[in-house]
Structure formats: C-alpha cells, structure tokens
Amino acid sequence: MNAVELRNVSLTLGDRTILTGIGLDIAMGEFIGVLGPNGSGKTTLMRAILGLVPPSHGSIHVLGRPATRGNPAIGYMPQARHFASDLRLSGRDFVASVSNGHRLGLPVQGRTARAEMEHALRLVGAQELARRPLAELSGGERQRLLLAQALIGKPQLLLLDEPLISLDPHRQQEVVDLVRTLKADLGIAVLFSAHDVNALLGAIDKVLYLGSGQAALGTSDEVITGPVLSRLYGSHIDVVRAGGRIFVMSGSCCAEAEEHRHESAPTGRQPRHSGHA
C-alpha cells in the first residue's frame, strides 16, 4: 500500500488550473521534498491530499482510501499558522488544544488525550518547552510544538507546508534532522515543502518538483536538472552544483531566491485543528 497515489489528477482553484494530469506514487516511509516556483501548487496539492481541494479530474488515494476531509491518519502543519492571541498560554496548553477541537487554549482532556499529547511532546523533545509560555519561545521552538500537534493521533503520513519559513539556517537544520528522525523511527511518509532544496539535501529520499501544471518525482539527481526544470518553469533553467549545494538559475538570477508567495490562502482554521486535517 502506498501512502499517496495520484491518478491523472487535475486541480483547479476558481478558474485557474494549478496541476494537470498528474500521476505519481509515494511509498510508505518515504521522505519527499516538495519544491517548485511560487504558485506552482505545493500548498494546493497538500490540501488536495487532505481532501480540502477535490480534484477536477482523476483520483487521489491516501493509505489505500480515497482522499477524505478529516482523515485522522494525516498529520498536517499548515503554512498559515495560528497562535493564540494570549501568548501567556503555555506550550502544553497550545498543543493540548488540538485534542478537543477549535477552542484554542481551553483544552479539556481525558486520560487518553493527555497520554497522546505527552507522547507527541516526547517525540519532538519538547517536554520542557511545553511548560513555558508561547511568548518566551523562539520560532524554532514553536515549530517543535506545531510538529507535536501534527503528531497527535499517531498519523501515518505527515504533510509539512514550508516549516522552515523565517528560521535561521541552524534552526532549519534542526527541524529537518528532527523530521528525518521521526520518519525513520515511526516508519511514516513525509511530504515536506520548502523554498530551497539545499536545506533538505541529505535527508530526503526523493524530490517532487512542481511547475507549469506538471510534476516530476525522483531523486534530486534525476529531477533537478536543466532539461527537467526548464520544462517545469517554462523557461530556460541552468542547474549548478557547487560545494555540496544546488543552485537553480534563470539567467543570472537564482530562480529559487524570489520572495515566497502562498498560492492558496485558506481563511480561518483548518477543520479539526491545525495539527491534523
């Protein structure tokens, strides 16, 4: 059984076609880096896997079943993150809030829910962080709490939408290393979208690169090439490898260095909670 299967999938938002005729398989236990230029459909694809964006054509299966809104087997960290307005709320209360729905900061937990929360905090090494107010935590520390939220319920698939945004390189590496460890220890599949492939090199199994309504899935050496990316960007692209890093160049500019834009901007909180869809 694959973690995700897309069969001739097309996705549209309003009158805009995002992806067309996509077919791919993502196996259980794979760590996939999801890349592509701004507006290429990284977030839209994740929301489709969550059952929030139905395909206009084709089918999406998750863990052997049609993609369905509210699937508890998926842990989700959205790009648009919502923290409580009262940052004196403790990290533990913030994580616990996902156990009983939308009333962020007002958790009423039973024994099972408390045990699940403590297990998730242990997995990400955030037991001590969870005792502190959110206001005292750095961006990287809050990311650990958000990841703990996504792990509540013991999901088999993690969808992480740009978890490295606004983190310095050291904190980025900490997040990538943590997710790689979780993937290996739990045997789960991970789709991890990022703006720059270099943060993920050495951790991912494959790259899923999106662009011009198309997709390419394979190892970084197979996918991040001039011919493949020229097709996906719709313009001539050069790929330069130097010093263990990959640079995707359009003319004299780095094509991946442009300001990030969220191609589908959901309003309000996600169904159920921010950790799961």
Supply the pTM of this predicted model: 0.85
- Answer whether residue 135 is part of any domain: no
- Asked if the structure places residue 110 within a domain, the reply is no
Residue in 214, 233, 217, 223 with CA at minimum distance from that of residue 19: 214
Count of structural domains, the chain: 1
Coil, helix or strand at residue 141: helix
Q: What is the pLDDT of residue 273?
A: 34
Q: What is the pLDDT along the chain (277 residues), one digit of tens a residue?
A: 999 999 999 999 999 999 999 999 999 999 999 999 888 999 999 999 999 999 999 999 999 999 999 999 999 998 866 655 556 778 888 888 766 544 344 444 578 888 888 999 999 999 999 999 888 888 888 899 999 999 998 999 999 999 998 899 999 999 999 999 999 999 999 999 998 999 999 999 999 999 999 999 999 999 999 999 999 999 999 999 999 999 998 875 666 654 333 344 333 333 333 344 3
Q: Is residue 15 part of a domain?
A: yes
Q: Which domain holds residue 6?
A: 2-81+154-254
Kindly report the CATH number assigned to the domain that includes residue 210: 3.40.50.300
Does the residue 133 lie in any domain?
Answer: no
- Alpha-carbon distance 141 to 36, whole Å? 27
**Distance between first and last Cα of the chain:** 21
Domain assignment of residue 93, yes or no: no
CA separation for the pair 95, 41 (Å, rounded) = 29
Reference 16, options 49, 50, 56; nearest CA is 56
Show the beta-strand stretches assigned E in 204-244. Answer: 206-211, 214-218, 238-242
In a domain, 235, yes or no: yes
194 inside domain: yes
| Residue 54, domain member (yes or no) | yes
DSSP 8-28: EEEEEETTEEEEEEEEEEEET
